[in-house]
Amino acid sequence: MPVFAYKALQTDGRTIEGELEAGGRQEAMRLVSERQLRPIRLTEKGVGAGGASSSAVAPKSPAKSKESGKDSPKDARIANAPAMAQNLSFGSANKITPRILENFTRLLSSLLAAGVPLSRALVILIKEAATPAAAEKWKRIHTLVVDGLSLTEAMARSPETFPRVYVAMVEAGEAGGFLDVVLAQIADFQAREKEMKSKVMTAMLYPVILLIMALGVLIFLLVFFIPRFQVIFSGFGAQLPLITRMIVGTSEFLRSYGLFAVLAIAIGGFLLRTWFLSETGRRAWEGAILRAPVVGTLVAQYAMARFCRMLGTLLGAGVPLINCLNVARRSMGNQVLVDAVSNSIERVKEGRQLGSSLSDCRTLFSGSTLEMISVAEESGRLDQELVRVANVTENDLDRQLKTAVALAEPLMLFLIAGFIGVIFVGMVIPIFSLQDHIK
């Protein structure tokens, strides 16, 4: 009979892995459900012994099953350790950059997977650190671990280096006994985040340059170019056209009160930033962004992709579902959406399915996404489906971003030409009527 390997959730929210023999996939799903388990993944491995009973195959513990699959990649990961350590040299000498943190995470995962004790692994990282700031930070972590703190507690003492989501994932890995796996997943997640941010920055670079050029040209025209025409207009002895009076008035205001305007904008920006950093201001700003016509949809899709990827990654690593949800919700970055998902987590704790529990978060999850999650729960492919949904959403966001940038470039050029054209016309109209004033 075929042998099926399964990963499932126990009634207490913890994951368990095992194997069983069944006549088909449906029968295997039924056997898993009879054990009071909720399947996450179910894959066919091959044909087992004919006389083996499906109930005779004992489930494996999560920690053992994870390590049993790590034998082959260990040597390769250790072989790559020196190269990864060399990459730590990139970045500022006085700051732990995202690249340094990513390489630290990946190298620590490789050392732990090879069986190196945590304290010794941290000592190796201290020696391999190429920047003084990195060496000092890893030494501080090592000292706290030697003093009896867990790695999670040690990292939580440095929130400027280790984000809350990072610490939460490490805590889940320590509790489940598969810290090396979780650290590798964190490094992969950091790499994807950096790639996504790089795409956004690259796409917005050209429109921002155009905007700065437009502002520079306008300021030059209003401050240095328009005053030369004012000398000519002052001798007309007649009222100037409305558009010309508006342009001249703007020029006079900038020349007289420009420095005060810049100072007022700087003070207003500082006060606004302080308000945004507060709890009330951040919630108000994040809620306003979500209500924006186009930007709100993109922000919600990006948060949903991060949530699904984090949740699928942690489930695949064997972290209990409730812990996965608590970590994944922190990764979204928008407190309004975090609160919405928190209500869904309470429903999962009550025993409801994940798909139906997330049904109230329509800002994040569309009907088709919820249906895919529900079907994945029933078929035992929840972790794989969540990662696939994240990949599809990120690809769609990439296409939308490219389209938006492609539309922004001609729009910026049109605005620049429009502003300059208005100033040109406003200055030329009085010159055309100069002969009438002379007569």
**Domain segments of the chain as ranges:** 2-60, 74-192, 193-439
Question: Do 426 and 244 meet the contact criterion of CB atoms below 8 Å apart?
Answer: yes
Of 194 and 54, the structure prediction assigns the larger pLDDT to 194
Q: What would the pLDDT profile of 14-36 be if each residue is shown by its tens digit?
A: 778 888 888 777 778 778 878 87
- Helix axes 382-432 and 295-316, enclosed angle (nearest 10): 160
The answer to whether residue 267 scores a pLDDT higher than 90 is: yes
Say yes or no to pLDDT of 88 above 70.
no
Distance between the two ends of the chain, CA-based, in angstroms?
108
C-alpha to C-alpha distances, 434 to 225, 240, 282, 437, 438, nearest whole angstrom: 19, 11, 56, 5, 6
pLDDT value at 189 more than 90: no
Provide, rounded to the nearest whole percent, the portion of the chain with pLDDT above 90.
3
Distance CA(60)–CA(251), nearest Å, equals 77
Distance from C-alpha of 165 to C-alpha of 174, rounded to nearest angstrom = 14
Distance of CA 380 to the CA centre of its chain: 27
Question: Strand order in 2-9's β-sheet?
Answer: 15-21, 2-9, 38-47
Place of tokens 């004992």: 58
Q: Which of 33-42, 146-155, 328-337, 419-428 is the most confident on average?
A: 146-155
What pLDDT sits at residue 320?
A: 79
Domains 74-192 and 193-439 fall in the same CATH topology: yes
**pLDDT value of residue 243:** 80
Tell which residue, 135, 154, 134, has the closest CA to residue 144: 154
Phi-psi region of 129 (alpha: psi -120 to 50; beta: other; left: phi over 0): beta
Superfamily of domain 193-439: Type II secretion system (T2SS), domain F (1.20.81.30)
Choose which CATH entry (3.40.50.11750, 3.40.190.10, 2.60.40.10, 1.20.81.30) describes domain 74-192: 1.20.81.30
Rg for the chain, CA atoms, rounded = 30
Listing DSSP states for 325-361 in one string gives: HHHHHHTT--HHHHHHHHHHHHHHHTT--HHHHGGG-
pTM: 0.60
